[in-house]
Amino acid sequence: MKATLTFTLPDEQGEYDAARLGRDALTVLWDIDQHCRSILKHGDPSDAVRKLCETLRAKIPSEMLDV
């Protein structure tokens, strides 16, 4: 399958940047999820760190981590 995205620059610069940087953003979210998972599974984090990790992981849609 092929897909072609067309943007009218500079009017749609934000949309273009989001599409262009999408893979990098997914990689960062995956790294954050894995780091938080490791802290929750293996570490003995403080309540604040545990709550932060749980909150971050809950906000990342699972579909974003399956690519």
Q: What is the pLDDT of residue 45?
A: 79
Model pLDDT, residue 65:
77
pTM of the predicted structure, to 2 decimals: 0.73
- Provide the pLDDT for residue 67: 63
How many structural domains comprise the chain? Answer: 1
In a domain, 50, yes or no: yes
Residue 59: predicted pLDDT: 92
Segments of the chain with pLDDT less than 70: 67
- Please indicate, yes or no, if residue 17 is contained in any of the structural domains: no
The answer as to whether 14 is a domain residue is no
Residue 47 covered by a domain: yes
CA dist., res. 36 & res. 60, Å (int): 12
Domain of 47 in residue numbering reads as: 22-65
Q: How far apart are CA 50 and CA 44, in angstroms?
A: 9
Query: Which pLDDT score is estimated for 27?
Result: 93
User: Looking at the domain assignment, is residue 10 inside a domain?
Assistant: no
Q: What share of the chain is helix, strand, coil (3-state, %, to 5)?
A: 70, 0, 30
